Amino acid sequence: MTPALLIHGGAGAATPSALQAERRSGLTAAFEAGWDILIQGGTALDAVVQATVTLEDHPLFNAGLGSCLTEDGTVEVDASLMDGSTFQTGAVGAAKHIKNAICLAREVMTDGRHVFLVGRGAERFAREHGLPQAAADELITPRQHQRWQALRLSSGQAQRSNSEPGTVGAVALDSSGRLAAATSTGGVFDKRAGRVGDSAVIGAGTYADSAMGACSATGDGEDIIRATLARTAVELLRGGKDPAQAARTALARLTRQTRGEAGLILLDPFGRRGVAYTTESMSVALRLGSGQAFRAEGRLVVRV
């Protein structure tokens, strides 16, 4: 079976022109990291984790380094992943001092005792399992600190803009026909401490079933949770339905039910892809053959 990979760098406002080249480079590096695993016969799960780690390590994506700050000026990260063949999952939420939340989620999955760890419990689990820790300010970029400080200086009059692209994610199909999905985020700008969004919630921000499809979502987290967007999109693939149409239908339902804005990437067991969003823009990277959307004859397509 021919492997497939699709990644996103968040949905929201269009990327400012001054940042487009660097974000495009980050998406390219993330895609290549995941793709190298797939073409060497690696698993879909390993591919989505590696692609997500690469985006977490980039300062211009809202995950890991570069995460939005809470109202307290700290970084709290969420992440989840799912293996569509075994239905194993791992998730973490509102965790501090975590460099790569998706690696912590992977460790939770591997440990197997629980599915979802949050806050101090997740942080202690990370220490016990030897995952790299980050100092309090290590994940705070000057750009995100300036956004947070501007809101403080405006006495709350500045807009708590969530229009910047938020969340990163990946979906993959490996040569054995296994599907997997991963999602990671720093959350909503100026969020309350302890807030957990859709990126940590299986069925909302992340879902995979190798018999139907895999999805990673991004956008208005609370509304995505209410609509269980990722699971809804995957269920719409039943009977071999077209992923592009399923993605659009899932977002239409979200709009009708909650009026929320979002984007999602969707992959089916045949390697067909769906990309849809109701925000101004959505960053994606994918390699497509002839006859697919974003026609590119097998070349890597990156859009920011």
3-class secondary structure, 114: coil
Q: Which residues contact 261 (CB under 8 A, 6 or more apart)?
A: 11, 219, 220, 223, 255, 278, 279
Q: What separation in angstroms does the CA of 212 have from each of 59, 195, 232, 245, 291?
A: 34, 31, 11, 14, 21
Euclidean distance between CA atoms 297 and 252, whole angstroms? 30
Residue numbers annotated as active site: 167
Q: Is 244 exposed, middle or buried (0-12, 13-18, 19+ CB in 10 A)?
A: middle
